[in-house]
Each structure stands twice: as C-alpha cells, then as structure tokens.
Homo-oligomer: A and B are copies of this chain.
Amino acid sequence: MKNLLVELGDRSYPIYIGSGLLQQPELLQKHISSKQVLVVTNSTVAPLYLATVVNNLAGHTVAQVILPDGEQYKTLEQVNTIFDVLLAEKFSRNATLIALGGGVIGDMGGFAAACYQRGIAFLQIPTTLLAQVDSSVGGKTGVNHPLGKNMIGAFYQPQCVIADADVLDTLNDRELSAGLAEVIKYGLIRDLAFFEWLEANIGRLAARDKTALAYAIEQSCLNKAAIVAEDETETGVRATLNLGHTFGHAIETGMGYGTYLHGEAVAIGTCQAADLSRRKGWLSEADVARIIALFTAANLPVTPPAQLASERFVELMTVDKKNVDGKIRLILLQRIGAATLPDYVDQALLEETLNHYGR
C-alpha cells in the first residue's frame, strides 16, 4: 500500500493506494471519531461495495443514502436528499459522511458534508479510475446547474481517501477509458516523462494490468497533490488542471449531462486545446498527432459532436470559472509537459479551432 500525503497545513490528509484496502476496516476506523456515520453511494455501486463498507463500520450508527447513478443527477436537489436523511436521522455536527462512488458521488457527498451544519467530517472511497486520480484529490466539491457545470460548490478537504485498485475490476470499459483521459492530462500539463511512459504502456492500462494501473494512479495523485498543495483555491497554477475542461464542459452541458462521460468530453476538449495551441505556434503538428494517438489508443473520442455549432460552443464557454468579467480564458499547451493560462484567447484562432471539425 502507498500512502501519499496531500500537504495543506491543518487540512492535510492521506491518500491510501493499493489492493485489498476495503478489506482493512482499521484504515476507515482510524479516521472516524464520531458514532454517527452516513454512507452516500449510488444505485450502481451499492450492490457491489456498500455491504463491505457498512461491515467495516461495526460499533457505529450507520445510515445510508443511495442516489441514482449519472452526471445528470449531480444537482442541488440530490444533495438536498442527503440533508433530508441527515436531519431525519438527527445527525449532529460531529457526524462523519463517507462518499462511496465515482466523481459525482464524491462531489455531491463532499458538498453535503461541507454544508451540513456548516461542515462535518468527510471520507472518500472512490470507485472509478477518474475519481481515484482526479476528484478525490484537492477538495473541490459541488454540483452542476442547468446553465453550467460545477457552478455551485465549496473547497472542502476529506479526512482521508482510500483508493482500492481492486474496485476497478467492476468498472466497465467506457468508465475506465474516461479515467485514462485525466491520467493523460497530468502528463500533458506537467510531466513529460509520465506522458512518455503512458505512450509506452497505454495498452497495458487499457487491458487493466494492475501494476500499470497502480503506477498510473500514484503518479496522477502525486502530480495533482503537488499542484493542490501549491494553490489550494485555484488562484494560479491549479487552473492548469482544467486543460481541455472548458471545451469539455461546453460539450457536457450542450449535449445534456450524461450523454458524454466527463473524461470523454475532456479527451475531446484536450484535442481542441492542442489544436488551438498549434495555431498559437506552440505545439507542432507532430505533437498534436501524438496527443490524438494516445487518446485514441485509450479508446477515447477525439472529435467534438457535429450537433454542437461553433456559436453554441462559444456561448457555453462564456460561463466558466476561469473567465474574468465575462471574457473566455483557456488552458493551452506550450509544449507536451507544460501548460499555461494566457490572459486572453485570440477570438479568431478559437473560431478556427471550433470550425476545424467541419461543423
């Protein structure tokens, strides 16, 4: 088992990475100081792992909330159903909330923990590759709004994260690929050596080689933890984690939450960001081809949906947390392994990129 520490002063917390971690009740127990524990999960994960987690909580008063599965349910209404249970069960401010699921469950469970009685303890057991490498590190919690993704939320750190590689056995191929999109992102934005390792090992990852997966999870968490430690509330370098996300969020919102998985939308968006970076003169055509080839080898889409017109893209991208006073800002690549956030986007180049796909 690897034990990484996310360094955030008095909000620091460990990420445990390894196999068989859900079979170790003491990992969970040592981070829970309350009698009352609420487990929040979804209808896909519950039949697989809920009983195991509840069994690990002997001696506690355990309640559970099973939400519907999917990004389209990442709403304030669903978070409210968590509050309903916490209040109906008379949970007090020293209670603990465990989020057992993918990124959607982690984001909603974390936001509910941040807001219930102005903050209760929170643990994460991510059950998708995407959640293990991305949403479980860094304390971003929240929900979507019909007009924009992740627009309502809080920065709120967990007590610990337990990333058990064994739970990836039950992940379907599409979800596994979606997770690889964020893994590839870490290489692109700050770690050329990891990007090259991914090019050499993408076949092993897609074939679920456990050793390769554990290494990819660890390197991803290390990269993200280093960025978050430097910039917890995204006033600077943390924004580079959003490579491909402004395009990607536009695709998710524009096509309706749930049509594309988050990682799929990010894969497409990153290819668009790479195209725009080439038009800025930063990436070569060969660089862009390498990026597209790696996403393709991870079984990810690399072309935006034809239905989404360029004008609609721009409209959707105008609502983004990186924007300043209504102006679009995008993370771009100066080279493979180095991301940047320019002060503004050349409107003409952006339109060239949006029109590049024959829409």
Distance, CA A147 to CA B318, complexed state (A): 38
B contact residues around A76 at 8 Å (CB): 76, 80
B92 x A118 contact (CB < 8 A): no
Q: Does A337 contact B (CB under 8 A)?
A: no
The segment from A148-156, A175-183, A350-358 found at the interface with B is A148-156
Chain A residues bordering chain B, tally (CB within 8 A): 39
In the complex where A92-B321, A92-B326 touch, is A142 in contact with B155 (Cβ < 8 A)?
no
B154 x A154 contact (CB < 8 A): yes
B155 x A119 contact (CB < 8 A): yes
Cross-chain contact of A321 among B36, B117, B147 (Cβ < 8 A): B117
B contact residues around A92 at 8 Å (CB): 320-321, 323-326
B326 x A90 contact (CB < 8 A): yes
A87 x B148 contact (CB < 8 A): yes
Cross-chain contact of A152 among B94, B115, B145 (Cβ < 8 A): B115
A93 x B36 contact (CB < 8 A): no
Distance, CA A155 to CA B155, complexed state (A): 12
Q: Does A114 contact B (CB under 8 A)?
A: yes
A34 x B325 contact (CB < 8 A): yes
B contact residues around A114 at 8 Å (CB): 154
How far, in Å, is A218 (CB) from chain B's closest CB? 27
Distance, CA A114 to CA B233, complexed state (A): 13
84-140 of chain A: CB within 8 A of chain B = 84, 87-88, 90, 92-94, 114-119, 140
Q: Does A83 contact B (CB under 8 A)?
A: yes
Cross-chain contact of A151 among B83, B94, B145, B324 (Cβ < 8 A): B83
Cross-chain contact of A145 among B87, B147, B322 (Cβ < 8 A): B87
B contact residues around A115 at 8 Å (CB): 115, 142, 152-154
A87 x B151 contact (CB < 8 A): yes
B325 x A94 contact (CB < 8 A): yes
Q: Does A35 contact B (CB under 8 A)?
A: yes
B contact residues around A320 at 8 Å (CB): 92
In the complex where A76-B80, A151-B83, A325-B35 touch, is A118 in contact with B90 (Cβ < 8 A)?
no
The interface centre, meaning the residue of A34, A84, A88, A145 with most chain B CB atoms within 10 A of its CB, is: A145
Distance, CA A177 to CA B313, complexed state (A): 54
Cross-chain contact of A153 among B88, B118, B145, B147 (Cβ < 8 A): B118
A326 x B36 contact (CB < 8 A): yes
Q: Does A319 contact B (CB under 8 A)?
A: yes
Distance, CA A55 to CA B154, complexed state (A): 32
For A138-178 the 0/1 string (1 means CB < 8 A from B) is 00101001011001111100000000000000000000000
Beyond known contacts A84-B145, A87-B147, A116-B152: 20 more, CB 8 A cutoff: A34-B325, A36-B325, A76-B76, A76-B80, A83-B152, A84-B147, A87-B319, A90-B318, A90-B326, A92-B326, A93-B322, A93-B323, A94-B324, A115-B142, A115-B152, A115-B153, A118-B153, A118-B155, A119-B154, A154-B154
Instruction: Write 14 A-B pairs (CB below 8 A) sorted by A numbering.
Output: A36-B326, A83-B151, A87-B147, A88-B147, A92-B321, A92-B325, A93-B323, A115-B142, A116-B151, A117-B151, A117-B321, A118-B154, A118-B155, A154-B154
Among all A-B residue pairs, the 5 with the closest Cβ atoms:
A87-B147, A92-B323, A35-B325, A117-B321, A118-B153
Interface residues of A (CB under 8 A from B): 34-36, 76, 80, 83-84, 87-88, 90, 92-94, 114-119, 140, 142, 145, 147-148, 151-155, 233, 318-326
